[in-house]
Structure 1
Amino acid sequence: MAQQNAMQLLVKWHIWLGWLVGVPIVMWLASWLFMVIKPIEEVRGEHLRISVAEAPLVIEGSAFATEDAQLKDMRLTMQEGRAIAILATTDGVTTRVDYATGEAIPPVDAEGARAIAAQRILGGNDVTSVRFFEAEEVPFDFRRPRPVWQVSLEDGTNVYIGRDTGEVEAVRTRWWRWFDFMWGLHIMDLSEREDTSHPILIGFAALSLLGAIMGCILMFRRRKTRAKTASS
């Protein structure tokens, strides 16, 4: 008898919990379906941009400007107490120069990567390994086509230092890697973990929304039926 009463109480709590979370679940699934219908590139309006041929930057009066330089982008930053210009050319080459003198700064080596991690990352002194990766062979948790040093720390964190920029390009903790895996499960794209609009995802989102709506309808009918039975 006691077990039967406990089961009835559990069923009652389950029904009330269903009423409590049913509407938020429907809202979440409806918003999920809406967001995955269109590719993120279309949402951001990338398809509306008119492609323009790249033209090199024309910089006159600069210590590092030359007639042969085909600069695509220039960014100024402070490194080691001096102004550094990070230059990107139209053919994809990135270099660093001293902004005041125009003197070229050599690419970051392994010791330089260690020093940058120690200066800019908490616990950056606790290094277990330093490895270099070419742009075409970067680890999966970085996923950017640029040459980097991977500085691995004792707590499992991977710090990525740009060889040509001298910047911390990314920090990947163990939690980030698990989050990235869960994100891949969420969007059903474990290979690249970037495609947020594909037929499988849209189909499951639509089915989930339909199931949640049917569940809410059935809960309402169950409550109505129980009310009629009690009054008869």
Structure 2
Amino acid sequence: MRPMRLRRPLARAHVWLAWLVGVPILIWTATGLWMVARPIEEVRGTALRAPTPRLPKLELLVPPPGRALKSLSLETQAGRAVWVAGLSDGGAGRADPATGRWLPGLGEAEARGLARASLLRPAAIRSATYTPADRPPLDLRRARPAWGVTFADGARVYLDADTGAVLALRTDQWRLFDWMWGLHIMDLNGREDTSHPVLIASAALALIATLLGLILLPFAARRR
């Protein structure tokens, strides 16, 4: 008889917990279903990217002088080869591989040209906006000075303002996916914090409600 006396308070607790965590569970299920149903290549805009251009033929390679290098690679920008250098102090830059001379950062006109060249079939450019490293846009979330070039079809290409390298391609599909992810982890502001009190408490209550439901199953079967 004692187990049967426990059924009523357990059932009442289960009902209240179900009401409390019903909304978070609905959000997790709906957003999770949407995210896994979208092909990740479509979200990333893989089909929009132009193929990587071949490097032009170079007779001589001269490394850039005078600054401590962390990494050095060759890229093609606007039909010419450039050094893209990562610096030991955390900065970055680009240089002429034929002379080693350091090149200036991107201006708006060059950023527009490189952004257009990075896409297979670019739409008309709507705007180009510079953002400093300490205030990156939400859909970039990288502490780098950048040019964000927005196209008429909603695509936005982010270019490193120091090196000209493509940092990211964002599409309307990516932004919706990113919003769904923020809702899924209950962090719509930063969309990166997967260990905050609201999410932990909601998950813990959902677990308790599930365990109570499993405990109550034998009682339901016995009543039938």
Q: Same fold (TM over 0.5)?
A: yes
Q: Does the 8 A contact of 1:117 with 1:125 survive in 2?
A: no
Aligned length: 168
1:74-223 equivalent positions in 2, closer than 5 A: 74-219=72-217, 221-223=219-221
- Aligned mates of 2:96, 2:221 — CA distance in 1: 74
1:124 offset after TM fit, Å?
Answer: 2.3
State the structure with bigger RCO (CA 8 A, min sep 6), 1 or 2: 2
1:89 offset after TM fit, Å?
Answer: 2.1
- Aligned mates of 2:64, 2:175 — CA distance in 1: 42
Unaligned runs of 5+ in 2: 1-24, 30-60
1:98 offset after TM fit, Å?
Answer: 2.1
- Aligned mates of 1:205, 1:94 — CA distance in 2: 42
Instruction: Report which of the two structures shows the higher radius of gyration computed on alpha carbons.
Output: 1
2:63 maps to amino acid: F
- Aligned mates of 1:219, 1:206 — CA distance in 2: 20
- Aligned mates of 1:65, 1:121 — CA distance in 2: 29
- Aligned mates of 1:69, 1:205 — CA distance in 2: 50
CA RMSD of aligned residues (A): 2.7
Identity %: 43
Query: What TM-score comes out, normalization by structure 2 length?
Result: 0.64
- Aligned mates of 1:115, 1:124 — CA distance in 2: 11
SS at match of 2:207: helix
1:141 offset after TM fit, Å?
Answer: 1.4
- Aligned mates of 1:113, 1:65 — CA distance in 2: 22
SS at match of 2:164: coil
Q: Does the 8 A contact of 1:71 with 1:87 survive in 2?
A: yes
1:129 offset after TM fit, Å?
Answer: 1.0
State which drifts further: 136-145 or 76-85: 76-85
